Amino acid sequence: MTRIKGLSKYMVLSLVILLLFFIGIIIYSNILKNKLSGQVNITLSEVAYQNKMVVESQISEQRNLVKQLALVIESENSLTNNHVLDTIKKIYQNGDYKNIGIVTPEKTIYISADGDFTTKYANYFDSLEDKESLIILDNDTINNQFSIFISEPITSISGDKGCLFFSYDIKLLVSKLSIPSFNGEGYTYIVDSNGDKILSSNNKNSFNNFENIYDALVSANDKNTKVANSLKEKIINGEEGLLIYNNKVDKTMYYLPLDVNDWYILTVVPSTTINTSYNSIMLMTIMLIIGITGLLIFLLITIILTNYVKNKKLYNLIYVDPITNGYSYTKFSNEVLLRGDSHKKKALLALDLNNFKLVNTLFGYENSNKILKEITQLINKRCSNNGFSTRKMADHYLIYYEYGNEDKLIHFIENLYQDICALKIFETDYMIVPSIGVYTFTKLEESIESLENKAIIAWKNIKKDNYTYYDIFNDKVLSEMLENKKILDKLIKAIDNDKLDVYYQPKYDTISKKIIGAEALLRFKDSDGTMISPAIFVPIAEESGFVTMIDDYVLKKVCIDINYLKEKGFEIPISINLSRKKLENGNFVKKYLEIMKNLNICVNDIEIEITEGTILSDNKAIKRSVKSLKKHGFNILVDDFGTGYSSISILKDLDIDEIKIDRSFIIDNSEKGREIIKYVFNLALALNVKTTAEGVETEEQYNLVKSFKCNTIQGYYFSKPIPFNDFIIELSKNNN
């Protein structure tokens, strides 16, 4: 009886324990279910952020490549010269791109389809001048497939403007987003702010062939209307968050804005995932109840390791450069901010490896990446505890360095330069040469981007001097840039308000001394009455591209003045100078003919002056423009003849009407100089090409060119450039 009572106690105790256990299981199951639901939501948001980073990293990598290539092209004299096109072709052949190309303002496209360059009119780009880099999704007219286009405005050294673009298959992003998540149940959409689909990952549970996510939600279930409207409002407001909708089964969606255009990434998982996970874990818990403690320890260790690996990957993604294992740009910026308040003198260096594209071509990208990694290690070793670096993109590095005095900074730069130059490249004699722009500061009182921009300005100055490999930013460079901007603004305002003056320098017949023509020359008077020299404002206008507006302005003014001269009974041709940029735009000839027709001016009234350097250019667009001008009846005059290396070839190869002998030959009193100019005049005479002597200032010079049978004279000996009213007076005197 006692044993039975004892057994009953144990049974009751066991039942109580069992009851408590089941109560615990029930409580545990409820807690577990809630936890799983929350964990799924957290994981869903993490997956969404990982997908966001995948998309942005992929596009950022392509954007950085475009920007880096844009910097290389902008160091060229022309956007479409053979070197630029060959460079694009090599990158296209070595990369996974559908197209790489350059679009000019005339919507001419130089494109690398199938590795060959063809010229087509671009129908899918507006002018990108004065815009930041652009990312669009469009139908590639070359491949007739949807592609992602990344473009960047570019301006060459000579002022050419255009747009560099890369396109690559949208399937590359789709494949990256199609990595299974939530046991293959999770999937991803990318849409724009209107809800229109950009792309979707491959998954059997997703909407099939939908065009708009809002319409797809409503079509799946009428109860989703409120959800669709809420999602639309959230996306318009740029918010992120969770929502639940029904498409056969309940599904959870995490919506998150991308830093690309107005795109949103939508990550979806079926809500049944929660129940499936719950049942599996509960079954496992019951089956392994005896070893629950060990299981908990195992799960704890697994969670810790999983989070560690995940956090490490996330850290590496954000803070580590995947090629060099050095600092990422984000990590570099954070470290600069942390050390910016120190009292030491500081410098930010922008280091570029000259012609590193050639290294990619010669040794391949894998070996080139090894070189970049070695250079990163070399830089960090040279910095020691005084600084650190990052490879911002391609072969462009930023270095933060603290130093005691300027001599130590120069010593550091020189040693760094020598270290990189001495680098052995795969047992070859190939030498990598860096260029280094430097900006020094004591206190961090401006943004990292501002520091970087000033270092880059110093780096760009190196390109102007082939004998230096580093330059330190100073306020003089910035002042010159600002002063040039002021002059350009004044010039634009002057043209808008018709405040520029056209002066005329007469051309005299050598024998009769009669005025037989004139050259139109622009003069720019500042608001205070002082003259701004053409030697100052013309290069600024050429660099900005505004010189083409000056060309148009001069033409219109000259046409008006010619009509007035005709009313006074004077019939002489006026020559106008055309800039290189204007000649690169072949469409201008038709426009000029229309202007002249509207003002009753014929081609015999206008002569075209083109500098020798421009007409000898290999630029095909310029050659086409010259041929077009000649075809329509304009006389072509070669200005500054004799200043180039191939002057004689102009007389032999080009269809020109007149050469204007540069003043440097006229004032050359040496015996050798006299023989050369005599030869040029005789050759022009033999080839029936007219000659004008420029810069004739003395009677001795006049008699000299007269003896060489020069056709016309232009210079201070007869007249300097004069205002139009004075020119009319001079014409009247000369006529009488």
Task: Tell whether 543 and 502 lie within a shared domain.
Answer: yes
pLDDT over threshold 80, residue 708: yes
pLDDT over threshold 90, residue 523: yes
Residue 282: pLDDT band (50, 70, 90) is low
d(CA 416, CA 434): 9
Task: Tell whether 498 and 407 lie within a shared domain.
Answer: no
195: left (phi over 0), alpha (psi -120 to 50) or beta: left
Q: What is the pLDDT of residues 376-405, one digit of tens each?
A: 999 999 998 899 999 998 899 999 999 989
Task: Tell whether 339 and 434 lie within a shared domain.
Answer: yes
Task: Tell whether 463 and 489 lie within a shared domain.
Answer: no
The answer as to whether 531 is a domain residue is yes
Task: Tell whether 500 and 640 lie within a shared domain.
Answer: yes
**167, 202, 231 - which closes a domain:** 167
Residue scoring higher pLDDT (140 or 619) = 619
C-alpha radius of gyration, the chain, whole number: 37
pLDDT over threshold 60, residue 553: yes
CATH number at residue 573: 3.20.20.450
User: What's the total number of domains in the chain?
Assistant: 3
Q: What is the pLDDT of residues 566-578, one digit of tens each?
A: 999 999 999 999 9
Report pLDDT for 633: 93
Q: What is the pLDDT of residues 295-352, one digit of tens each?
A: 767 776 777 777 777 878 888 888 999 999 999 999 999 988 888 777 889 999 999 9
Report pLDDT for 536: 87
The answer as to whether 422 is a domain residue is yes
Task: Tell whether 465 and 518 lie within a shared domain.
Answer: no
How many alpha carbons fall within 13 Å on the CB side of residue 454? 19
Amino acid sitting at position 519 = E
Report pLDDT for 448: 87
**112, 135, 167 - which closes a domain:** 167
Q: Give yes or no for a contact between 368 and 356, defined as CB atoms under 8 angstroms apart.
A: yes
Q: Give yes or no for a contact between 499 and 529, defined as CB atoms under 8 angstroms apart.
A: no
DSSP letters along 281-332, please? HHHHHHHTSTTHHHHHHHHHHHHHHHHHHHHHHHHHHHHB-TTTSSB-HHHH
CATH number at residue 108: 3.30.450.20
Report pLDDT for 710: 93
Residue 428: pLDDT band (50, 70, 90) is confident
d(CA 65, CA 458): 22
- Burial class for 174, CB neighbours closer than 10 Å (0-12, 13-18, 19+): middle
The answer as to whether 274 is a domain residue is no
* Tokens 């939530």 found at: 182
The answer as to whether 496 is a domain residue is yes
**135, 167, 199 - which closes a domain:** 167
CATH number at residue 382: 3.30.70.270
Three-class SS of 572-605: CCEEEECCHHHHHCCCHHHHHHHHHHHCCCCHHH
The answer as to whether 578 is a domain residue is yes
DSSP letters along 103-152, please? E-TT-EEEE-GGGS-EEEE-SS----TT---EEEEEEETTTTEEEEEEEE
Task: Tell whether 520 and 595 lie within a shared domain.
Answer: yes
Residue burial 269-298, b: 16+ Cβ < 10 Å; e: rest: bbeebbeebbeebeeebeeeeeeeeeeeee
Average pLDDT over residues 31-54: 74
Report pLDDT for 662: 87
Cα–Cα distance list, 412 to 353, 422, 593, 660 (Å) = 17, 15, 61, 53
Task: Tell whether 538 and 623 lie within a shared domain.
Answer: yes
d(CA 332, CA 538): 42
The answer as to whether 315 is a domain residue is no
The answer as to whether 231 is a domain residue is no
Domain housing 84: 75-167
The conformation of residue 262, written as its DSSP 8-state character, comes to T
Report pLDDT for 15: 58
The answer as to whether 277 is a domain residue is no
Mean residue pLDDT of the chain comes to 82
Task: Tell whether 367 and 391 lie within a shared domain.
Answer: yes
Residue 10: pLDDT band (50, 70, 90) is very low
Q: Give yes or no for a contact between 686 and 707, defined as CB atoms under 8 angstroms apart.
A: no
Report pLDDT for 278: 56
Task: Tell whether 495 and 579 lie within a shared domain.
Answer: yes
Instruction: Give me the phi and psi of 352, to 5 degrees please.
Output: -125, 140
Task: Tell whether 469 and 525 lie within a shared domain.
Answer: no
Q: Give yes or no for a contact between 63 and 150, defined as CB atoms under 8 angstroms apart.
A: yes
Task: Tell whether 634 and 494 lie within a shared domain.
Answer: yes
Report pLDDT for 143: 52
Average pLDDT over residues 248-253: 86
Report pLDDT for 663: 87
Angle of CA points 31, 33, 36, to nearest 5°? 105
d(CA 605, CA 562): 8
Residue scoring higher pLDDT (506 or 682) = 506
